[in-house]
């Protein structure tokens, strides 16, 4: 069963989900950071692009949001213009350099009801019987003076009076958003962190939630008002952070590594790029007495459960490609496919499985609802690759050959010097190199450093002025 911690009294709000006491995932909600799908902003139109059929909106975050013409409320008689302020809602979370996707067609919703402030209709799910649809429409319509609603299939399990209360709550919430927007002088978030916390609860399947622990009485009251059916599960605990502090530290340390160690010598290697996430299964340390075919199935099934956990734990979204241990038999592939399908059923974000490609890679997508925790916590800028020690050795050989001075002094550590003498024939190199070459031993982590290059007098002067240094002739 799920225990949800909503810690909102810190500078950084935390939403922590535990299953049977084990940490599943964490949302780190930071000030002035876009909080994901559903968040509502006061934005300013910075650019209208007729070629892209879109507006670029400053919503107070690092990157402009993207508002497609079809998601705008402008008309031929009332077009949106650059510099105009608008209320917008996030429909797709930002990703790296890509801004959030926005809409002006605001909706406030939970699993039973969707409130549409700019619509004038009552739509009831067609999955319900005609009798139930008519009943729900009759109950709700008299109470809807402004806006419209979509009544979802789950509404059939709710008391009509509860649905009416939810509608009034959403309506009052939207009116509060409008009042807040009027007071705002610059782009920024309208919806509060408390609203985001309530939305977190709404996205969960209530049957699975055992306890909701909050550190603020006001948030408890908001949840009770909005979700009276689970009011008895909400508990206030001022020092709730103490319960999960050590698990949080462990969680962050685990995320810092792309390698996930599983049982029996199997490991996952997870590499995230801007285009997609690639997951590789490494079984080099796996030992078994089973046949190769059965061993491959066992390894892949073991990996499946871990992959489902890591998708949620790291909040990986977008395209994901998995390189399972190769299976030739289609039936074996289907076993793994079915196992993964079962494993992702409890994921709160929609996961679509596309199956194995002709190259044997497995493809899936996971909906991006919030920024990946990997990009919230860690610097994901592309780092340049480090040269190997062997590469540095051959690079030094080339540098010495083209050097046209009388003498040179090169700094390197003891290990590099030994490696250089092992890889390069120093006697042959001496015949090709013009300058007299000296080595000064220093604690250089990688490679080498040319300290001096010039006349014999220049190098001799350096040697005389640094008697404590260990300087030897190399060539």
Tens of pLDDT, residues 437-446:
999 998 888 7
d(CA 149, CA 123): 6
d(CA 326, CA 253): 31
Residue 110: the pLDDT is: 81
pLDDT beneath 50: ranges in the chain? none
Residue 311: the pLDDT is: 95
Residue 33: the pLDDT is: 65
Is the separation of the CB atoms in 46 and 31 below 8 Å? no
Q: How do strand 234-236 and strand 209-214 relate by DSSP bridges?
A: parallel
d(CA 220, CA 194): 10
Sequence-separated (6 or more) residues with CB below 8 Å from residue 212: 3, 4, 6, 201, 223, 230, 233, 234, 235
Q: Which of 345, 464, 453, 444 is nearest to 392 (CA)?
A: 444
Give the tens place of pLDDT for each residue, 2-29: 899 999 888 888 999 999 899 999 988 8
Q: How many CB atoms lie within 10 A of CB 50?
A: 7
Residue 284: the pLDDT is: 79
Tokens of 226: 């909005």
414-423 vs 389-402: helix crossing angle, rounded to 10: 70
Q: Which of 397, 465, 473 is nearest to 436 (CA)?
A: 473
Q: Determine the length of the chain.
A: 475
> What structural domains does the chain harbor?
1-35+192-255 (3.30.420.60), 40-105 (2.40.50.140), 258-377 (no CATH), 389-473 (no CATH)
Computed over its alpha carbons, how large is the radius of gyration of the chain?
31
Q: How many CB atoms lie within 10 A of CB 341?
A: 15
Tokens of 251: 């969680």
Q: Which of 25, 18, 24 is nearest to 3 (CA)?
A: 18
Spell 296-316 as b/e; 16+ CB within 10 A means b: bbbbbebbbebbbbbbbbbbb
d(CA 232, CA 211): 9
End-to-end CA distance of the chain: 71
Q: Which of 173, 272, 249, 190 is nearest to 16 (CA)?
A: 249
Tokens of 33: 């950071």
């Amino acid at each position: 069963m799920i225990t949800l911690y909503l810690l909102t009294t810190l500078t950084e709000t935390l939403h922590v989900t535990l299953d049977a006491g084990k940490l599943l995932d964490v949302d780190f909600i930071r000030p002035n950071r876009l909080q994901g799908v559903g968040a509502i902003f006061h934005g300013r139109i910075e650019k209208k692009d007729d070629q892209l059929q879109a507006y670029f909106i400053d919503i107070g975050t690092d990157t402009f949001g993207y508002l497609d013409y079809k998601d705008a409320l402008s008309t031929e008689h009332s077009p949106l213009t650059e510099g105009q302020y608008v209320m917008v809602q996030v429909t797709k979370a930002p990703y790296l350099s890509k801004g959030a996707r926005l809409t002006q067609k605001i909706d406030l919703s939970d699993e039973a009801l969707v409130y549409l402030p700019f619509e004038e209709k009552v739509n009831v799910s067609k999955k319900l019987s005609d009798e139930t649809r008519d009943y729900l429409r009759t109950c709700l319509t008299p109470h809807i003076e402004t806006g419209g609603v979509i009544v979802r299939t789950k509404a059939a399990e709710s008391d009509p009076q509860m649905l009416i209360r939810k509608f009034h709550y959403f309506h009052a919430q939207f009116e509060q958003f409008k009042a807040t927007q009027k007071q705002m002088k610059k782009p920024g978030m309208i919806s509060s962190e408390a609203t985001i916390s309530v939305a977190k609860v709404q996205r969960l399947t209530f049957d699975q939630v055992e306890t909701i622990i909050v550190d603020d009485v006001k948030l408890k009251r908001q949840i009770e008002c909005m979700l009276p059916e689970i009011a008895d599960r909400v508990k206030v605990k001022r020092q709730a952070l103490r319960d999960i502090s050590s698990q949080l530290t462990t969680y962050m340390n685990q995320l810092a590594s792309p390698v996930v160690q599983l049982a029996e010598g199997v490991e996952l290697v997870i590499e995230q790029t801007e285009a997609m996430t690639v997951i590789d299964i490494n079984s080099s340390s796996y030992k078994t007495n089973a046949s190769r075919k059965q061993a491959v199935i066992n390894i892949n099934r073991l990996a499946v459960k871990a992959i489902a956990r890591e998708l949620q734990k790291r909040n990986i979204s977008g395209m994901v490609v998995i390189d399972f241990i190769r299976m030739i038999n289609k039936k074996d592939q289907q076993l793994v496919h079915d196992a993964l399908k079962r494993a992702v059923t409890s994921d709160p974000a929609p996961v679509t499985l596309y199956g194995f490609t002709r190259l044997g890679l497995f493809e899936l997508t996971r909906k991006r609802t919030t920024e990946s925790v990997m990009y919230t916590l860690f610097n994901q800028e592309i780092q340049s690759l480090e040269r190997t020690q062997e590469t540095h050795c051959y690079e030094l050989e080339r540098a010495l050959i083209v050097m046209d001075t009388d003498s040179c002094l090169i700094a390197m550590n003891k290990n590099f010097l030994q490696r250089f003498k092992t890889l390069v024939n120093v006697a042959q190199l001496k015949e090709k190199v013009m300058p007299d070459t000296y080595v000064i031993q220093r604690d250089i982590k990688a490679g080498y450093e040319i300290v001096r290059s010039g006349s014999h007098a220049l190098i001799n002067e350096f040697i005389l002025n640094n008697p404590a240094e260990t300087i030897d002739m190399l060539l």
